Amino acid sequence: MDELLAVARWFDCVELNSSFYRVPSARMVKSWATRIAERPGFTFTVKALQRFTHERSGTAADAAAFIRAFDPLLSRGALGAFLLQFPWSFRDGPEARRLLASLGGWFAGVPAAVELRHASWNAADVPAFLGESGLAFCNIDQPVIGDSMPPTAIATDPRLGYIRLHGRNYRDWFRAGAGRDDRYDYLYRDDELEQWRDRAVRMARDVKDLYIITNNHFRGQALVNAFQMKSLLGQAIREIPGSLVERYPSLRRIAPEPPRGNLL
């Protein structure tokens, strides 16, 4: 099964994670663009290289080369945003703000969002600063432990709003030795998703495009909550994979009725 085409059949966007580690080949990007050609309106969001956010050694030339790598998607209008995801250790301060202002300039030709996980960024002047820098604020759901960013509904760029739902696995989020699957093993409850539905509705009034990414990816939980969020937002669901419904019976409440009778 072509997983990209499957996602494109069920949803309107997908977030590329591999681009955080390496620049994809020209052949790969062209393949993505070709495969979604018959799905107008489907878009990609792209996590920027960790060179810019974790290593903090990127340059303007690096950013220009990185953006150019996605020309096949940009030319089709199929690239919704670049995401600059910073670690929890990245805290507000003069040097950090200078870096963000530089990144805003380097990515000025394309929509870009910035994910800030430390609560020091939950300050009254941060939205205005990001807006002036041309960066969208990425609203996140994560375990709120100590100085972690709480849930927000902030829009700083009229081009886009961004929401990422990481899960609330308090036990493993900061546990030493916890692997990726441990940290992101979480299935949102209905009431938790309803809170984010309300935030999304408020944000949608102020932006052209709103991206909601479920990142609680262990054992298909991201898909489950993405379908549920789609239903909460009143969007039509044409199909839910039967194997997913079998594993998560709660999806039966929103799954379309399977066709009846002879299909031949």
**CATH code of the domain covering residue 106:** 3.20.20.410
Question: Model confidence at 263, in pLDDT bands (50, 70, 90)?
Answer: very low
Please tell me the distance from the alpha carbon of residue 214 to that of residue 221, in angstroms, as a whole number.
9
pTM over 0.85: yes
Question: Model confidence at 258, in pLDDT bands (50, 70, 90)?
Answer: low
What mean pLDDT is predicted for residues 149-164?
98
Domain membership flag for residue 86: yes
Domain membership flag for residue 165: yes
Domain membership flag for residue 241: yes
Per-residue pLDDT tens over the stretch 85-132: 999 999 999 999 999 999 999 999 999 999 999 999 999 999 999 999
Minimal CA–CA distance to 214: which of 252, 187, 240, 190?
187
Q: Which residues contact 120 (CB under 8 A, 6 or more apart)?
A: 91, 92, 93, 147
Domain membership flag for residue 262: no
The answer, yes or no, to whether residue 259 has pLDDT greater than 80, is no
Domain membership flag for residue 263: no
Alpha-carbon 258 to chain mean position: 30
Domain that holds residue 148: 3-253
The answer, yes or no, to whether residue 262 has pLDDT greater than 60, is no
Q: How many residues does the chain have?
A: 264
Instruction: Specify the number of domains making up the chain.
Output: 1
Average confidence score pLDDT of the chain = 95
Please tell me the distance from the alpha carbon of residue 28 to that of residue 204, in angstroms, as a whole number.
32
136-141/112-115 β-pairing: parallel
Domain membership flag for residue 259: no
Q: What is the pLDDT of residue 120?
A: 98
Question: Model confidence at 217, in pLDDT bands (50, 70, 90)?
Answer: confident
Whether the Cβ atoms of residue 255 and residue 241 lie closer than 8 Å to each other: no
Domain membership flag for residue 76: yes
What mean pLDDT is predicted for residues 49-65?
98
Q: Which residues contact 174 (CB under 8 A, 6 or more apart)?
A: 143, 145
The answer, yes or no, to whether residue 264 has pLDDT greater than 80, is no
The answer, yes or no, to whether residue 177 has pLDDT greater than 70, is yes
Domain membership flag for residue 173: yes
Minimum mean pLDDT among 160-164, 183-187, 192-196, 207-211: which range? 183-187
What mean pLDDT is predicted for residues 178-182?
88
| SS3 letters across the chain | CCHHHHHHHHCCEEEECHHHCCCCCHHHHHHHHHHCCCCCCCEEEEECCHHHHCCCCCCHHHHHHHHHCCHHHHHCCCEEEEEEECCCCCCCCHHHHHHHHHHHHHCCCCCEEEECCEHHHCCCCHHHHHHHHCCEEEEEECCCCCCECCCCCCCCECCEEEEEECCCCCCCCCCCCCCHHHHCCCCCCHHHHHHHHHHHHHHHCCCCEEEEEECCCHHHHHHHHHHHHHHHCCCCCCCCCHHHHHHCHHHHHCCCCCCCCCCC
